[in-house]
Amino acid sequence: MKPTVRTHSNATVIELEGEADLATVPEFQKIVREQMKAKVQRLIIDFSKVTFVNTPVWAVVVEYFQHASGAGTEFVLTGIQGRVEASFKIVRLGDFIATLPSVDDALAAATLGR
């Protein structure tokens, strides 16, 4: 998995690409924790270019979600589809973590204060 961090005027976006598996957890976790330290106001994690996600990667997402909830940070996942969506549903993260179809949708929602 190749993570890229992009800063927009109203959010920070972590774009992921490839397979998100156990081998990629340390790098992903490092990037997510950097965002925690930076106290970003809005974080979007984009899964639109991800072909596979395993449970340890979802654990990093949950870690940030818990941090965001306590810090008042807006947090959303985007681009969840195909095998990634199946994995997301199995671990039932959709019960409490917001998702939107695309980064553009998430940026627009942040602009509108949603």
CA dist 106 → 21, 23, 35, 91, 110 (Å): 25, 28, 17, 22, 6
The CATH number of the domain where 27 resides is what?
A: 3.30.750.24
Q: What is the Cα–Cα distance from 5 to 14, expressed in whole angstroms?
A: 5
- The tokens for 29 are 């976790």
- pTM given for the model: 0.91
Strand ordering across the sheet containing 74-78: 4-7, 12-20, 42-53, 74-78, 99-100
Q: What is the pLDDT of residues 61-72, one digit of tens each?
A: 999 999 998 988
- pLDDT recorded at residue 113: 53
Q: What is the pLDDT of residues 16-53, one digit of tens each?
A: 999 998 899 999 999 999 998 998 999 999 999 999 99
Q: How many domains does the chain have?
A: 1
- pLDDT recorded at residue 112: 55
Give residue 59's domain range. Answer: 4-111
